[in-house]
Amino acid sequence: MGVDQDDLAFYRERGYLLVPNVLTEMELQAIREELKQLVDKAADVTESDSAYDLEPGHTRATPRVRRIKEPHALMPSVAALVRNPVMVGILTQLIGPGVRYQTSKLNMKLAGDGSAVEWHQDWAFYPHTNDDLVAVGVMLDDVDESNGPLCILPGSHRGVIHDHHANGYFCGAIDSIESSIDFSAAVPLTGKAGSMTFHHVRAVHGSAPNRSTRSRNLLLFQFAAVDAFPLVHPIGDLDSFDQLIVAGEATTEPRMTAVPVRMPLPPAPLHGSIYENQRTMVNRFFK
Ligand X SMILES: O=C(O)CCC(=O)C(=O)O
Binding site for ligand X (CB under 6 A): 105, 107, 117, 150, 205, 207, 218, 220, 274
Q: Which is nearer to ligand X, 87 or 220 (CB)?
A: 220
Q: Which one, 69 or 247, has the nearer CB to ligand X?
A: 69
Shortest Å distance, C-beta 249 to ligand X: 29
Q: Which residues pair with 247 in a beta bridge?
A: 99
Contacting residues for 95 by C-beta, under 8 A, at least 6 apart:
132, 133, 134, 223, 224, 225
Smallest distance, Å, CB 4 to ligand X?
27
Residue 108 or 247 having the CB closest to ligand X = 108
CB of 55 to ligand X, least distance (A): 13
Residue with smaller CB distance to ligand X, 174 or 274: 274
Question: 140 or 220: whose CB is closer to ligand X?
Answer: 220
**Which residue's beta carbon is nearest to the bound ligand X?**
207
Beta strand ranges found along the chain (DSSP E):
16-19, 52-54, 65-69, 99-109, 117-120, 133-139, 151-152, 165-166, 169-170, 187-188, 196-200, 205-207, 216-225, 245-247
Work out how close the CB of 239 gets to ligand X at its nearest, in angstroms, rounded to a whole number: 28
Is residue 110 within 8 A of residue 53, CB to CB? The reply is: no
CB of 220 to ligand X, least distance (A): 6
Give 67-96 as a DSSP string.
EEESGGGT-HHHHHHTT-HHHHHHHHHHH-
